[in-house]
């Protein structure tokens, strides 16, 4: 379990987090959403131990990430947004790092490469940007760490690749694996993530499962714009209205509409979801 308590973090003169507390229980695929620059990547870096909190604490299964102990590192893998590769094949790359991870599975790597339709024989620098991303995803998943952190994993992927991405994440992540996907492209991770964490500058606006969300928020698809809606958006054939679920009606979460509703009614929804 990832526990963040009263975390303060700033880059020189820019405050990123101020006294935030969050918990990520094990075994879920979390969607870490937020506008550009709110600190999604920074939060992942703090959880991975690549940054150190200035105040407060971050622990992963009781271990302090910033100490970068092997016991911690062998259970986490961070796939950054920027594709950084070596002058080698993905196969050699994964073999080189895989030996450090106790549950690394080379057969799984081959299977994932096949499913993601990446050419095994090519070096990283011979692959396209999207192919490189998919190859690195296959590497990351074959390590079978308890925690997998993906920063904007769908950036640069074409539409079929985004579907493949969703497929392999939902299919190959075990029940014990905790995945945190940081993205601002919410459509790409629809039907994949649950719970959702929405970050704002200095603050956490939402940290709730789909069940908790639909219990309190109702997504109404209809022909007209409703006055009491937190957020309304025109869709082909009508409107989607994000409203308080006062009558405990069932609906399907539209992540993009939810995100926009939260951004427009920060305090209201934050208090509603408490």
Partner 1 sequence: MNNTLDIKRFGKVLRRDGLNFFPNLILSLAILWAIPVVIYLFTSLMPTDGTKNVFDAFGRINIIETLTKIAIIIAPARLYQYCNDSRKGIGYAMLPASTLEKFLSMVIYCVIVTPIVYVAGALAIDSILALFNGPYEGFAATYYFNEFAQIDSSIANHDVAGLLDDTWPIFVKNLSPTFLRILSLLGLLTLSSIFMFGNMIFKKRKTGKMIGILILLAIIIMIISINYVANNEALIEYFNQINENNVTEFIERMIFIWMNVALYTEIIVSALLLFGVYRKIKTQKY
Which residues sit at the interface with partner 1, rule CB under 8 A? 45, 48-52, 68-71, 73-74, 76-78, 80, 82, 84, 87, 96-97, 99-101
Contact (Cβ atoms closer than 8 angstroms) between residue 7 and residue 20: yes
Residue placing its CB nearer to partner 1 in the complex, 23 or 86: 86
**CB 51, min distance to partner 1, A:** 5
211 in helix, strand or coil?
Answer: helix
CB of 76 to partner 1, least distance (A): 7
Nearer to partner 1, 149 or 165 (CB): 149
The smaller minimum CB distance to partner 1, of residues 40 and 253, is found at 40
Distance CA(98)–CA(101), nearest Å, equals 5
Q: Which residues contact 225 (CB under 8 A, 6 or more apart)?
A: 232, 234, 239, 241
Query: Taking the complex as a whole, how short is the minimal distance between the CB of residue 172 and partner 1, in angstroms?
Result: 21
Q: Which residues are CB-neighbours of 265 under 8 A, at least 6 positions away? A: 230, 231
If the CB atoms of residues 97 and 263 are measured against partner 1, the closer one turns out to be 97
- As measured in angstroms, the least distance from the Cβ of 125 to partner 1 is 13
């Amino acid at each position: 379990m990832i526990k963040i308590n009263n975390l303060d973090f700033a880059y020189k003169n820019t405050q990123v987090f101020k006294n935030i507390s969050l918990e990520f229980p094990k075994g879920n695929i979390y969607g870490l959403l937020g506008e550009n620059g709110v600190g999604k990547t920074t939060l992942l870096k703090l959880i991975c131990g690549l940054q150190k909190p200035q105040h407060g604490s971050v622990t992963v299964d009781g271990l302090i990430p910033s100490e970068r102990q092997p016991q911690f590192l062998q259970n986490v893998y961070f796939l950054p947004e920027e594709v950084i590769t070596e002058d080698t094949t993905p196969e050699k790359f994964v073999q080189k790092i895989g030996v450090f991870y106790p549950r690394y599975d080379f057969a799984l790597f081959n299977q994932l490469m096949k499913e993601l339709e990446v050419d095994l024989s090519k070096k990283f620098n011979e692959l396209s940007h999207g192919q490189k991303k998919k190859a690195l995803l296959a590497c990351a998943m074959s390590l079978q760490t308890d925690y997998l952190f993906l920063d904007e994993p769908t950036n640069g992927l074409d539409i079929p690749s985004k579907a493949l991405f969703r497929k392999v994440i939902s299919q190959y992540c075990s029940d014990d694996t905790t995945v945190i996907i940081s993205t601002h492209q919410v459509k790409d991770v629809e039907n994949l993530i649950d719970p959702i964490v929405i970050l704002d500058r200095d603050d956490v606006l939402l940290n709730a499962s789909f069940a908790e969300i639909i219990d309190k928020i109702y997504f109404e698809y209809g022909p007209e714009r409703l006055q009491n809606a937190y957020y309304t958006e025109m869709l082909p054939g009508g409107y989607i209205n994000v409203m308080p679920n006062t009558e405990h009606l069932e609906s399907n979460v539209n992540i993009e509409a939810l995100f926009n509703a939260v951004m427009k009614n920060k305090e209201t929804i934050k208090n509603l979801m408490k």
